[in-house]
Chains A and B, each alone.
Chain A
Amino acid sequence: MYVAAKGGEKAIRNAHALLAKRRRGNTNLPSITLDQIAEQLTLAVDRVMAEGSLYDVELAALAVKQARGDLIEAIFLIRAFRTTLPRFGYAKALDTAEMLVRRRVSATYKDLPGGQLLGPTFDYTHRLLDTSLGLADEAREGNDQATRVDDAPAPVSMPRVTDLLGQEGLIEGAPDDDGAEPFDITRAPVSFPVDRSTRLQTLARGDEGYLLALGYSTQRGYGRSHPFVGEIRFGDVEVIFDAPELGFELSLGTVQVTECQSVNQFKGSATTAPQFTRGYGLVFGQCERKALSMALVERALRWEELGEERGAPAQDEEFVLSHCDNVQATGFVEHLKLPHYVDFQAELDLVRRMRAEHAAQMKEAAE
């Protein structure tokens, strides 16, 4: 149990001042700007938005700076900030088929309509450190390859791979939209078991490392579902909001998201021919590892609905969902560093008494 402690105000003030000093680092160097963070540490910013569950590039950059690059601390700052704002309402569901695609690959179809677009990816890089990035006047090769806008192809339709498979009936359909409002974990307490939309919301803000490890475990045989990346796409999607005072839909701008469709092994029944099954991942920003891991875990959690055997950690809904939020996790783990003196004093008394009893017993036995 945690009991409040008093005192230490001056030390705490000084510690905070020292933290600010360390955050700033060597003052002979210029302070890093939010624009620089947003433009050059894009994927850190994206991760903070995804797990902070708040899309705002500038705020996420600020959080990264304030947290000295500690992304979980930055995510914590974003979550705390969001509680200070009123909720205007719910947007219409994003239409990822209408995305301005910046990257889109399929590991299942090489010739898919719309094509394979590698985009800005680490895939196929050799993972060799580029020492030229350490030079003050960094090589500008990347920028010199500016593409001429005149070369832009006309927008083409990019059907989802699951739609292609779906046309042939080879894959299960997505669950129908029955018009019901999806559960919102930020508005009501969760009680298990939960529906698929609640799982997706929880996973979308879950910790990337945690979901990566669980997704990996499913590949290694713990809840095996033999996944393929049907498709992963990243780009800009439009946010549409029905403004109550206007009575019509408004476009509020665009956000970037990564979507992953996993295609997994089969399910059939006496009445239904075997079909591929699927898992789904959708994450703010370019967070491919997270979107893919989310799809794997989302698929693993569907074991019951798909009539699979249970037994793997990644299939345990309550365990997986209750521990995937890194803000909750870090709050509870890190509070162990705060004073627990009263609590510990009780345990100290207890262990002393047990030792005294133990000594008395030993003495008795020896006599």
Chain B
Amino acid sequence: MQPSPADPRDANACRTARQGMMAVMARAESTELDAILAQLAPLPAASNLKPPEVGLVMLRGRTGGDGAPFNLGEATVARAAVRLEGGASGFAYRLGRDVKAARQSAILDALWQDEARRAAVEDALAPVRARLSSESAGARAETAATKVDFFTLVRGED
């Protein structure tokens, strides 16, 4: 499924990079994925390893934030698995019900595993990474603007 370099440290680094790329794709809009695939064209034909589908994942919390786990509630998740003609298999899971986006992500995951195309896939994902980091910076900035310093008043005069 993925290149297996002789050095296990390389294998770990490769897996971490793949996880990072898949995390970005899970947050990419369908229109962004359209643009990325267009940029990477022509693409080998992709066939479904299983039909893209929507299901549920049970999310969990921890008692007290850091203790024993409990089931919090479910979230919808779309997933897809594809195989590229003459290439690797690709997988994708993402929150929500956008199976088209999941399938596009699975194709990109498969392309990424081809070392000859990896850099191109990463480059094409750069705008999505930039959008995501700008959004979280925006959220931090607007939240930081509401930071207060409460002070307590001394009661009495002696």
Contacts and interface: CB of A to CB of B under 8 A. Distances in A.
A190 B147 CA distance: 43
Contacts of A91: 57-60, 75
Interface string B31-60: 000000000000000000000011111111
B73 A116 contact: no
Interface in B83-142: 91, 93-97, 134, 136-142
B157 interface: no
B12 to A, nearest CB: 10
A93 B57 CA distance: 12
Contacts of B137: 149, 152
A304 B54 CA distance: 42
B91 A246 contact: yes
Given A53-B73, A243-B91, A197 B68 contact: yes
Interface in A126-183: 147-153, 155, 160, 162-163, 173-178, 180, 182-183
A100 interface: yes
Nearest to A238: B23
A239 B73 CA distance: 12
Contacts of B148: 115-118
Contact of B63 (A86, A148, A175, A236): A175
Contact of A205 (B63, B73, B145): B73
A252 B77 contact: yes
B152 interface: yes
Contacts of A254: 27, 95
A268 interface: no
A282 B72 contact: yes
Contacts of B95: 55, 239, 252-255
Contact of B61 (A59, A85, A93, A103): A93
B73 A204 contact: yes
A61 to B, nearest CB: 13
**Chain B interface size range:** 35 or more
A252 B93 contact: yes
A300 to B, nearest CB: 15
B7 interface: no
A94 interface: yes
A96 B61 contact: yes
Looking at B62, B134, B146, B150, the one whose CB has the most chain A CB atoms below 10 A away is B62
Interface residues of A, number: 83
Contact of B93 (A175, A184, A243, A257): A243
Contacts of A204: 61, 70, 72-73
A115 B141 contact: no
A211 B116 CA distance: 57
A110 B136 contact: no
B57 A252 contact: yes
Contacts of A42: none
Contact of A56 (B15, B76, B79, B94): B76
B143 A88 contact: no
A250 B150 CA distance: 40
Contacts of B8: none
A18 interface: no
A88 B75 contact: no
A323 interface: no
Given A86-B53, A89-B57, A90-B60, A186 B71 contact: yes
Interface string A187-200: 00000000011101
Interface string A45-77: 000011001111011000000000000000000
5 contacts: A85-B55, A152-B144, A241-B93, A252-B77, A257-B72
Q: Across the A-B interface, give the 8 residue pairs with the lowest CB-CB distance, nearest first.
A: A174-B67, A174-B64, A197-B70, A251-B23, A152-B137, A253-B95, A55-B75, A152-B141
Interface of B: 15, 19, 22-23, 26-27, 53-77, 79, 81, 91, 93-97, 134, 136-152
Given A53-B73, A55-B59, A241-B93, 5 more contacts: A88-B56, A243-B79, A245-B91, A252-B75, A257-B72
